[in-house]
Structure 1
């Protein structure tokens, strides 16, 4: 690259809030190429699904320094070629932004949000070159500020102005949030943490600050403060009932329900919703080390134009899913009982997944692009989540390591080894990295367990391991469709097996998912069936479980339904509910202390 080339210059502004459009201008000080190739990623790191962000580019044109039009040709769904004649080139384009998620771009009257993968075109010839980024105030309401972890060079009090990044890969690591928002700030070990809450709320900010600070302290204590960053931002989009998170190197984007944040009147109460919020914050912050730095070799310089496969997602999402809630316990934010409730819910989800008998966790990782991120009605029968099974594998490893080393080591030891030898060095991990860390780093041989856990569909030994640490597993029947486990049953009613997920509609009960070898499947039900009557009586507004519980076990009950508009009648046999719901209790405090203490 010619040393005299200036950085690329991006300018982004809000074009129209009502039309949900951003304006972007890219200036390329080109003196050496007669053609330039532009592209937009087809997926975003951390979310393994082809999303084709380029579909939201509404208009695009190319100009030279004098304002004359240059030829620009679209080569495929996400790339363009510009004939520059070796001159300075300006690309002008508009981006439609109405995807309320943390993976793309969104703009309405409440706030604006944009990931770089949605709004910043890559210049392939200059992808490793620094860029100047100008956040333009024009089009932004006077009350809105711009929040980002992107390094600022000259910015005003509202966050608009001149920023800079070291490469395209760095550019897309800093999402942009436009909003009138509340902020929480604090410092831990020299890092300034900031939480931005956009979208409106009635939350107790001081409580959130206190709890969030404990989480940050825990993670920094686990890994050490050698990230090389001075600022970290939790960019939080608040809505009615959404949920999600996506990690970045210096920030995370969160999507959460404002209704689940704690109010001042709830100061002494840990609600399920707030616990979930703290777990989400913990999860995404953990990824700052374990995904953004420690990562598979294939993701060191990923090709964002197509799928990038790895069988290691169980390590990265699974381990993080173990530590997110475990960190809340170790930080003193939740009690042991509260943590065991969360773990019981995780074990329940795994137990209810018939796909655990079909797909290995390494297959689940590799096939995330087509199976995990594109789940259909048969997902419960055909796949296992690398988040959930990965978390249970992490639990087993933690307990096995403690046992095998006589409590000298734990999974913490593995995490620190990974950080020291792979994260700090950004060297990337191989598929057998956990086996190597255990053997070479800790002197432990758990190869037999890992082979079974990773490459077979055999059941994991979590129950026996918990028992050895003084924690007893209890299995019970599900009490209803909303029963997610983790607690003892609060009802003595007869529990009936459904083996399906459904929603109550004005015109009946709509079947959404059917589990193999359970009552619904045996009766012949399938997704899309609309159940309207049981034993001749209308089902509208009624609970299917409650109505079935009125019949004797083994009895065949006529079930009337519509299937694609055709009236049908099936016999639904009343079976007792399977004991696939789990809760945990501490039976030996001394033994449990070796794990939960």
Structure 2
């Protein structure tokens, strides 16, 4: 009985032209034809990206050297007529998109995002495979979470395609170092020049890993890899099963705020080791790589992670109390200043991520919110409720640890929202009904009441002031003032200003290149006043009168409540680890 095998070979004949060459060697399947498919999305980034658009020069040759007929049967499927023969399937992938989720190849290095690089055989996602990298002479290192096969140089193996697609490769001359954290070996790969202190960064990451491992009770990895791409300006990340890819600004490490924001990013992506990669929604795994995988639960799996990333930096001592509260309240202000928070619930935001989260347009602020921000808000409310109602004996940590143990370590399955809520209430003895109901509502709960439970208050510093507003956002580009957003139900919305209108003059005064006449006009106008804007729209000049309305923008802050009880202050200290 023959044994089937799948082997990939990566080479870089023209890296300066942004190509990776891929050969896929398929043996032992014995089928008359084989359908080869490329994923249309990558786990952790919920958007149909159509990776196959970058594939070219497809060719198939049998083991005896005969050319095989290849037919493209769908946007991401190539059928090879094999007549039962073993064969090699080769192709090139254009790779020139700078992000944590897409391929990028140039003369200096290659970042390989597996979902956009490797084909799988239809019906055989569970098949093991191997990947060999043929290093160009000018490159010397490979960083990846894949297990290395020591018998062959630069050969890696994967037990199935879910793991292969979740294991990016960084290939080049990146600076690398290793360290232990929570008893687990870690590799850090820095790609591109950056101003950082390796010793300090290592120490701080060790603290993050230790704290997160404490929260979850155990660390699931035998080895972990951080891959960081340094750019002039960037911030973001993508989680993987035993690695992460981070994007950072090369000079962000040298100032306190930038460095702490990078540590929050590290904390966020590492937290995903448990929250989404293992404890996961029922619909996220096993994956369907050909279409959307819908779930309303990203408010838990991304939102909770967004809550914990900054909280962990507070617990580790990187941020003081006020610095943490400033970061936390920004989540609230971002959501509550989007008119879309009255239109889209966080549950629907999760479900609609495939069509809205990664495809924003000029009206996104009016129709949508981010499950990252709103999920973090609700996670905070759950945490405060649990801490206060349990007199500080429990917190959200206990819920996550129990859920991880029950649904991953014991049952190894995805979860739904109701069973997560039931477990949370059973573990803590606290009713969370109001918060879970808010997931599918657009009305706000009383956030201040929750903060009061632990001795803090949530106050809008704009609550006693009213200012006149047009309700627009503008940019100043090439000496022109251009409308970039119009808030729902604002003065501009009601009286007909449009995105992409160029504001030429206000009340007969031509704007300078910074639009200062518009700022001055607003400064001296009252609610109910009419201002006349001269705008250029598609080359036509229009004069539009606009009656100003009161601004509905909020500016919340969180501070100690001077009227709190001693017990509430004690609970607040527990929440923010202020006694550590």
TM-score by length of 2: 0.93
Q: Does 1:258 align with 2:258?
A: no
**1:393–1:460 CA contact under 8 A, matched in 2:** no
Q: Secondary structure at the match of 2:149?
A: strand
Deviation at 1:575, TM superposition (A): 5.0
Change (3 A) 1:544 1:55: farther
Is residue 2:182 matched to residue 1:186?
no
**Which residue in 1 is equivalent to 2:541?**
567
Query: For the Cα contact (< 8 Å) 2:175–2:190, is it kept in 1?
Result: yes
**Residue number in structure 1 paired with 2:566:** none
The one of 511, 514, 535 equivalent to 1:541 is 514
User: Which whole-Å CA distance do the structure 2 matches of 1:260 and 1:495 have between them?
Assistant: 36
- The CA distance in 2 between the partners of 1:458 and 1:331, in whole Å, is 35
Question: What pairs with 1:269-418 in structure 2 (closer than 5 Å)?
Answer: 270-271=256-257, 273-418=258-403
How many residues are aligned here? Answer: 567
Q: Is this contact kept in 2: 1:155–1:161, CA < 8 A?
A: no
- 2:420 equivalent in structure 1: 434
Instruction: Give the equivalent residue in structure 2 for 1:485.
Output: none
- 1:165 paired residue number: 158
CA contact 2:310–2:324 (8 Å) conserved in 1: yes
**Kept after mapping to 2: 8 A contact 1:559/1:570:** yes
CA displacement, residues 149-198 of structure 1 (integer Å, 9 cap, x when unaligned)? 11001289xxx611111011111111011232223432012211222111
Q: State the partner residue of 1:58.
A: 56
**Equivalent residue, structure 2, for 1:10:** 8
1:368-404 Cα shifts (integer Å, max 9, x gaps)? 1112222221111111211111111100100111222
Shift in CA distance, 106/574, structure 1 to aligned 2, threshold 3 Å: same
Aligned-pair CA distance for 1:523: 4.1
1:223 paired to 2:223: no
Distance 1:461 1:194 in 2: 44
Alpha-carbon separation, structure 1, partners of 2:46 and 2:5: 30
Q: 1:582 aligns with which of 546, 556, 562?
A: 556
Check 1:99–1:574 CA distance in 2 against 1; reply closer, same or farther (3 A cut). Answer: same
Structure 1 residue 82: deviation in Å?
0.8
**1:578 Cα deviation from its structure 2 partner:** 3.7
Are residues 1:450 and 2:450 paired? no
Match of 1:513 in 2: 485
Which of 142, 148, 152 aligns to 2:148? It is: 152
Shift of 1:250: 0.6
Query: 1:285-313: per-residue Cα shift (whole Å, max 9, x none)?
Result: 10011011011121121211011111111
Asked if structure 2 preserves the Cα contact closer than 8 Å seen for 1:473 and 1:584, the reply is: yes
Secondary structure of the residue aligned to 1:261 is: helix
Q: Distance in 1 between matches of 2:572 and 2:223?
A: 37
Q: CA–CA distance in 1 between the matches of 2:523 and 2:294?
A: 50
CA apart distance, 1:530 = 1.3
- SS of residue matched to 1:33: coil
SS of residue matched to 2:40: coil
1:574, CA displacement in angstroms? Answer: 4.8
Q: Distance in 2 between matches of 1:149 and 1:236?
A: 14
User: What is the Cα deviation at residue 52 of structure 1?
Assistant: 0.6
1:490-529 matches, within 5 Å, as 497-529=469-501
Shift of 1:141: 5.0
Q: Secondary structure at the match of 1:571?
A: strand
Residues 1:243 and 2:228 aligned together? no
Cα deviation for residue 126 of structure 1 reads: 3.3
- For 2:565, the equivalent position in structure 1 comes to none
Any idea what SS the aligned residue of 1:299 has?
A: coil
Distance (whole Å) between structure 2 residues aligned to residue 126 and residue 435 of structure 1: 36
Q: Are 2:122 and 1:142 aligned? A: no
Q: Counterpart of 1:557?
A: 531
Change over 3 Å in CA distance of 1:96–1:125 after alignment to 2: same
1:592 match: 572
1: CA distance, partners of 2:426 / 2:511: 65
CA distance in 1, matches of 2:448, 2:517: 32
Shift of 1:450: 1.5
Distance 1:143 1:83 in 2: 37
Aligned equivalents of 1:145, 1:109: Cα separation in 2: 14
CA drift at 1:348: 0.5
> Does 2:77 match 1:79?
yes
TM-score relative to the length of structure 1:
0.91
> For residues 577 and 184 of structure 1, what CA distance do their matches in structure 2 show?
52
Change (3 A) 1:31 1:204: closer
Change (3 A) 1:541 1:579: closer
Deviation at 1:86, TM superposition (A): 1.0
SS of 2:16's equivalent? coil
Structure 2 CA distance for aligned equivalents of residues 344 and 533 of structure 1: 37
Q: CA deviation at 1:538?
A: 2.1
- Cα deviation, 1:452-502, whole Å, max 9, x if unaligned, reads x11221202222111221212232359xxxxxxxxxxxxx9x965342222
1:495–1:545 contact (8 Å) kept in structure 2: no
Q: Secondary structure at the match of 2:283?
A: helix
Give the aligned partner of residue 23 of structure 2.
25
SS in 1 for 2:485: strand
Q: Is the Cα contact below 8 Å between 2:471 and 2:487 reproduced in 1?
A: yes
Q: Report the Cα offset of residue 418 of structure 1.
A: 1.3
Aligned-pair CA distance for 1:350 = 1.3
- CA distance in 2: counterparts of 1:575 and 1:440, whole angstroms: 48
Question: Using the alignment, how far apart are the partners of 1:386 and 1:323 within structure 2?
Answer: 14
Q: Retained in 1: the 8 A contact 2:447–2:458?
A: no
- Kindly indicate whether the alpha-carbon contact (under 8 Å) linking 2:296 and 2:350 is maintained by their aligned counterparts in 1: yes
CA deviation profile, 1:21-61 (whole Å, cap 9, x unmatched): 00000001124211111000011111111111001001111
CA distance in 2, matches of 1:204, 1:368: 37
Q: Any conservation in 1 of the 2:483–2:502 contact (CA below 8 Å)?
A: yes
More deviation, 288-297/191-200: 191-200
CA distance in 1, matches of 2:555, 2:470: 14
Checking the alignment, whether the CA contact within 8 Å between 1:396 and 1:461 is kept in structure 2 is no
Give the CA deviation at 1:543: 4.4
* Alignment RMSD: 2.1
Q: Distance in 2 between matches of 1:226 and 1:196?
A: 21
